[in-house]
Homo-oligomer: A and B are copies of this chain.
Amino acid sequence: MERPRHQGMAKNTYMRWRLPLICLLWEVAMIILFGVFVHFGPEADAHWEEEKHQMNLTSDIENDFYFRYPSFQDVHVMIFVGFGFLMTFLKRYGFGAVGFNFLLAAFGIQWALLMQGWFHSFQNGKILIGVENLINADFCVGSVCIAFGAILGKTSPVQLLIMTLFQVTLFAVNEYILLNLLHVKDAGGSMTIHTFGAYFGLTVTRFLYRPNLEQSKDKEGSVYHSDLFAMIGTLYLWMYWPSFNSAISEHGDAQHRAAINTYCSLAACVLTTMAFSSMLQKKGKLDMVHIQNATLAGGVAVGTSAEMMLTPYGSLIVGFICGIVSTVGYVYLTPILESKLHIQDTCGIHNLHGMPGLIGGIVGAITAAAATEEVYGKEGFIKAFDFTGSYKTRTPSIQGGFQAAGIVVSLLMAFAGGTLVGAILKLPIWGDAADENCFEDDIYWEVPEDEESDVYHMHNPDKAASP
């Protein structure tokens, strides 16, 4: 079904050698680096029996696996089904949404195991991995999935793999600065994952600005069933977000508390999203775009503070506000970003991850600054903020200041990294689609003959006979 080309120069989107080459190159590099560096950590190594004696553990249940594996699996579902299906809302880009998300995440987790391993799990020349590393790798890739949302439908898989390589690298550097140098708390990643991922992606999409994208406008919408597929993504993100925010918190009360706070924030967020979705439409009808996205902002915005003593009450307030901010963003801000700033944000990640991520960083800073020994208990206070060693004398208000600094650093890293990657991706060699072919699966995928064609055949029985 050839369409008339609006532009003279149809782009070369032929992937046959480019995509295999980069996939194999990346993967061979992973194998070599894993061979040199990656070993099992003590809790996954067959020497565990001896380890147990040394650590004075009496039972296998003390293995970190049992503390974190259920949360890991929930996070895993969020990355692959949650983000993947959330982006299937486009009527003809479902394969690309799920499939490319699958590809970049599968590569990204390997590279993240290495990058984060060098920074955080490096001992005697070896990276020692366990279930917590798997969670962190998934987290890191989460930020790439977020950035993918901004450029969804406008990039080739080759571009995505290049972006993943760079973004994972920069993520790990930023994370190291925040967690190790600034000694910032960010268990659910409001800053490291959401703020960084969103503004990185927005910078990249600014570089890839397509002034004639309205040529694909008819494909940049949903159909009835694609909206239902997207709701699968939404609901899995929403339901498992308590696991996301609690997955790498300290054992015991911190994990428990993080899950409760996130549960509360998300619940409140749904009500204000529905309220404003209806209120901001002349006809008062609900808009699936808001329900699919803004309902999740509450989870983003307690990413930093969920493991702190935010309280269920505070969580409800954060969720309340974020549902409003995010929905209002979709209605008013997204069009302005495109028209004034030339930022074309396919999934509206600025509303779902950008602003809520910033709010999350701020809420975290305030919650940390407001911490007292009375509220946390003497031991709990030290444990919650890890005020030990060289941080023994840090006070809550100073911690709050460092938390705020973490937001700024994440933003700067996102802009700088996004600029670098945006410039690279703009090179005309990566096989991205022409403006009139964006949001269309059949550029990169074998798309089956359509249901529509079936209809045609059914009403034309003669045709059905001939293959």
Contact = CB atoms under 8 A, between A and B. Distances in A.
B110 A264 contact: yes
24 contacts: A17-B279, A19-B274, A27-B316, A31-B313, A34-B313, A43-B252, A44-B253, A45-B309, A46-B253, A46-B257, A48-B380, A49-B377, A50-B377, A63-B252, A64-B256, A65-B256, A80-B238, A84-B235, A91-B454, A102-B295, A106-B271, A134-B260, A283-B446, A288-B448
Main secondary structure of the interface of A (DSSP, over half): helix
Contacts of A379: 49-50
A88 B464 CA distance: 23
Contacts of A446: 281, 283, 285-288
A445 interface: yes
Interface stretch (A145-153, A190-198, A219-227): A219-227
Contacts of A248: none
Identical chains in the assembly: 3
Contacts of A130: 256, 260
Interface stretch (A92-100, A173-181, A199-207, A400-408): A92-100
A236 interface: yes
Nearest to A320: B27
Contacts of A276: 20
Contact of A455 (B45, B285, B455): B455
Interface in A37-77: 38-40, 43-50, 52, 59-67, 69-71, 73-74, 76-77
Contact of A129 (B88, B291, B312, B459): B312
Contacts of A38: 311-313
A16 B312 CA distance: 29
A278 interface: yes
B81 A236 contact: yes
A106 B266 contact: yes
Interface residues of A, number: 151
A458 interface: yes
Contacts of A445: 285-288
B256 A81 contact: no
Nearest to A75: B239
Given A44-B253, A81-B239, A260-B129, A49 B286 contact: no
Contacts of A44: 253, 256-257, 260
Contacts of A459: 456
Contacts of A50: 377, 379-380
A171 interface: no
